[in-house]
Amino acid sequence: MTLSLRDILQDVVKHAAFDKLIEFIRITPENNELLIEALSGSELVIFGSIKSGETDIDEQVALRDLDFLKALLNLSNYKESSEIEVKRSREGIDKLVFSDDDNNTDQYRFMSIELLANLVPQLAADNRIKFKGIRDALIITPSKQMAATVAGLISVYGANAPLFTLEIEDGDLFIEVSGQQNNFMGKRLLTKNVKGNVTKGYRWSLGMFSSILNLSVTGNSEIHIGDNGAIMFKVNSGIGEYNIITVAKSNTE
């Protein structure tokens, strides 16, 4: 499958800029792939790859102003008849120029790798995001029903209970939310007949879990729940493969 620059950018922005916590994305070409990396402290980590073959992104670039880029990619006139051209300066790839058949144009400028390194040292040019993996993972398959269940919880409890816990009862996995003094509580079935355990004492962001879950319900995706407080979504978009890790807070935080 031949991927256009639009295909690549839309997939990257959708899967790595779904949350406001992510401000910057680094793309690195390597062995006919594009490596995608983004993070927000230790709370949210994203790394993935796209088998791009030959592409105009032939050197490391950094994306910023992600909402602006997303808006440009979604403009109707650029969806129907458009071209995205990579412009270069003496320092390398500099910007994207969008144009259509009516000569409408917009420009998007990349961030320098040096500035990215100053703002996010983990994404300095020679660094790679390293993740030790999920320890003793419980693996479940995301579904539209699961996403709808979590969305329903948010509609009722989201404003007052932004964090959730996980519990296994008789082999079934439940998601639970409660107020700080247990003045209210909700529990919903996520999936039945799971094999494994979840460690008690961790709480995750309900909104972030829902956002990632919505990305995971299409394609061949998995959710890995570890006993070290990390949940990793392995998301296959059909274009790229992404590992999205959200880290819990303990009950003492």
Strongest mean pLDDT among 37-46, 78-87, 166-175, 218-227: 166-175
Which residues are CB-contacts of 130 (< 8 A; sequence separation ≥ 6)? none
- Locate the domains of the chain by residue range: 5-123, 138-250
Question: What CA–CA distance (Å, rounded) separates 11 from 1?
Answer: 15
Report, as an integer, the average pLDDT of 55-72: 93
pLDDT band at 80 (very low <50, low <70, confident <90, very high): low
Q: Mark 31-54 as b/e (b = at least 16 C-beta within 10 Å).
A: eebbbbbbbbeebbbbbbbbebee
3-state secondary structure of 194: coil
Closest CA to 204 of 253, 163, 174, 232: 163
Residue 211 to residues 22, 27, 143, 216, Cα–Cα distance (Å): 13, 22, 13, 9
Say if 5-123 and 138-250 have the same CATH topology: yes
Query: Of 14 and 40, which is predicted with more confidence?
Result: 14
3-state secondary structure labels for all residues of 91-119? CEEEEEEEEECCCCEEEEECECHHHHHHH
CATH of domain 5-123: 3.10.150.10
Q: Which residues contact 66 (CB under 8 A, 6 or more apart)?
A: 13, 17, 22, 23, 24, 25
At residue 29, what is the residue type? P
Residue of 174, 177, 173, 172 whose CA lies nearest to 154: 177
Contact indicator for 191, 175 with CB cutoff of 8 Å: no
Residues 23-60: tens digit of each pLDDT: 999 999 998 899 999 988 778 899 999 998 788 899 99
Name which CATH class applies to 138-250: alpha beta
DSSP state of 4: P
Q: What secondary structure letter does DSSP report for 141?
A: -
Asked whether the CA dihedral 236, 39, 132, 201 is positive or negative, the reply is negative
Could you give the C-alpha distances from 17 to 14, 27, 47, 50, 165, in angstroms and in order?
A: 6, 13, 12, 16, 25
Q: At residue 79, does pLDDT exceed 80?
A: no
**What mean pLDDT comes out for the span 69-92?**
86
pLDDT tens by residue, 191-248: 999 988 888 889 999 999 999 999 998 778 999 999 888 999 999 999 999 999 998 8
pTM for the predicted model, two decimal places: 0.89
Rg (alpha carbons) of the chain, rounded to whole number: 20
Average pLDDT over residues 168-193: 88
Report the pLDDT value the prediction gives residue 181, as an integer from 0 to 100.
66
Does residue 135 carry a pLDDT above 80? Answer: no
Place of tokens 């401000």: 23
